[in-house]
Structure 1
Amino acid sequence: MTLYIDYDACLKEPTCPAATYCSTKALYFHPEESRLFFNPDLCNGCGQCIQKCALNALSLFETTEELGIFLEKITRARENFTSKLESIIGLK
């Protein structure tokens, strides 16, 4: 399993419910870094973290290949959004 953490959406709180409910502690908050970290070796794929994240900042994938496809889609979507926004406000 591999987990994508959208750090733009994440509140990065020490009391993060997604990390709190992770029974294997694969997802945890690192106080010195002030953000969540994920250890794939501890993950059992239960999905509790996804269910507990109210901000939809987490996505769980079976393989790194699936994660790569997801990241490509996000990148394209953000580029399209930026391009459209620039057109709307007259930057292009």
Structure 2
Amino acid sequence: MVDDYDFHGTHPAAPRPDAVPVRWTPVQQRPGAARVRAYTCECLSLVFEQCMAGGQGFIRRYDRSVLPWGIAESPRVRVVDAIALWRQLMNGEAR
């Protein structure tokens, strides 16, 4: 057994110069809980979560470089479109 104490999660790629901007908006209180399907590593100051709620998908962004943390969400869209946005963020194609 290998002793591996480096338990890092996914790190998104740095945004490319031609990265598509995401329309981040403040979190709005909505009924029902969101399910987190994927997330980025907690060691970074900018953390993303891929979420689903009410049959829609969206990305939640936590900016932990400021206090209180800045929390914003992408528009709620079809799940397949939210998965595509997640891939874009992870590949540096969106910011």
**TM-score (normalised: structure 2):** 0.28
Rg larger in structure: 1
**TM-score (normalised: structure 1):** 0.29
